[in-house]
Structure 1
Amino acid sequence: MGLERCWYKRSRWLCLLRPLELLFRSLAARRRQRYREGALKSWTAPVPVIVVGNISVGGTGKSPLVIWLVEYLRQQGYKPGVISRGYRASPPTTPYFVTSGSTATEAGDEPLMIVRRTAVPLVISPDRVAAAKLLLEQSGCDLIISDDGLQHYALNRTLEIAVIDGARGFGNRRCLPEGPLREPVRRLDEVDLVVVNGALPETVVDAGHVEKSFLMTLQPGKLVSLSSGSAVIADQWRGSRQVNAVAAIGNPGRFGKTLETLGFTPQLRRFPDHHHYSESDLSFEQQLPLIMTEKDAVKCDHIKLENGWYLQVDAAMEERFSATLDRLLSRWQPAAQSAE
């Protein structure tokens, strides 16, 4: 967490890491070039593949966008499926088909959250190609959404969508470990769509990506009880407006601000992204209602929380995003033969 704060505060001492950053960029560029030249093999699926990723480490809002895509594409007549790395997951086998009965330990928090929200067929594996093949074999899907994987070049893609945290932008605009970027900002020149979670940062404007950039806002939905499954909108909340809160996401402060806009006064306890909770993590001196993110909630199946709630958050996209997505997908043509 300390290094992450330095990235976004643009601490001067980070320049000491410049030799490592240059090495990282060189190795990443060389690896991608080997895929382009065919020295490393890539696989083309017989269905469209939409990669939703980012060029920075940490959360940017990919999962809400994946959920939006699943629901929207279903409305357009597609049968989407999702693949994911399953970060910090420990499945019994790989690739692994995630179900609503899976645990967060087996499936990873984000894949499990997506499945429980949408019931979409979803497979996790560090090998995206293996995940895609199993998904196609067992689900009958006709479109694949890859949750993350922008840098996983072994899987060819029909469309690339890069998601940016509009509040934090690109930090000091340097690559790892000097900065938060997995690839230089110029990588955005090559993606098909740029989705900005929140206000459009000047860094996107400066890079000349405005025409293909679209605003995504995360709109708070219902508060859902962890014990009963009952739901209530914030305006109808009858409990104390002073609440305990936890967040183990890429930008916990965003969650705290969301609760404040809903009229709550949260005592927010922050944890690292993907943190697995213990009972002591959720124990507060004041016995107040406890509110967490939906991503946190799937990691609390083993903890009894009588007054625990999670806040659903829904992505809202610009209208022109749907039209652009439809137009780009209409260009897809099946490959004559997929490489094995």
Structure 2
Amino acid sequence: MTLTDQFDLSARNTLGLPSHARHGGMLPDAGAMIEALAFARDKGLPFHLLGGGSNCVLAPQIEAVVGVSGMTGRWIDTSAPDAVRVTACAGESWPGLVEWSVAQGVSGLENLAGIPGTVGAAPIQNIGAYGVELSDIFESLIAFDTETSAFRRFDKAACRFAYRHSRFKEIPGRYIVTEVTLALPRPWRPVLRYAGLDALPAGSDARTIMQAVLALRGTKLPDWRETGNAGSFFHNPIVPEAEAARYAEVPGHAVEGGRKLSAGWLLEASGLKGYRCGDAGFSEQHALVLVNHGRATFDDVTRLAATAVERVRERFGVTLVQEPVTLG
């Protein structure tokens, strides 16, 4: 393991913000991760592990040890009659895993195609798209407990999944995911109820659905390699059932405990589509996506996010919650 002083993270976050960590480097395996964690403790610094940098807002200077996950490896187990099990190490690309599994003739991940980031980050966020959440197909993960210095296995119930949430967000930094196993049910049934997929023929195969998902994402979300962004910048807020009638005009749907509202609609209705602070702005394609128009700074992003929260709260009485994690 080699750590570098003033490790440059500018090309390691999809928002494209200029950033350096006090110390950092690539961590090719779990052993290197444990060494980096020990180094951080010795220096009295926090330790953070980045995957693809797709769900974070990085400050210009991060006083911490920041490792970039390089743990790779993936395999498929078809021995069980009820499910195909796909296991991948934390540093594997999530979109790469989806495309690879479909190419292997394995169905069940296609609705989650194109979500940037790594496998290790997927359960922390409980990623979801087009009618499917990771928790729908999740079986277990292995994580390193930084308090006990031991590896631990978590099944689905232990992860306490909810909308864009897991137990790992409740105690950030304690557990570092190293491996994830997904169980894709047999027989496979396509999920086509989401708008844009519901026009596909009922007999569509996983590759056809994956291509449709990628095309839909392309119409809504700018490619971060061309226009820096962190995907959806705010959670879709959930209002209590007793208050749902107040928001009849807002697109949404009933969920457990209330009604989930469209954050993108709330932002657009508040005049924020295309709105900018410096070089940070909300996309003209989709108001929920905060983009870097070229030279956005951390201050630009934080000012823009604060403005959005204030405007939506003033107009609708709803407080938006930022989805990407801020490191600074």
TM-score by length of 2: 0.28
| Higher strand fraction (1 or 2) | 2
Comparing both chains, which one has the higher relative contact order based on Cα–Cα distances under 8 Å and sequence gaps of 6 or more?
1
TM-score by length of 1: 0.28
| Higher helix fraction (1 or 2) | 1
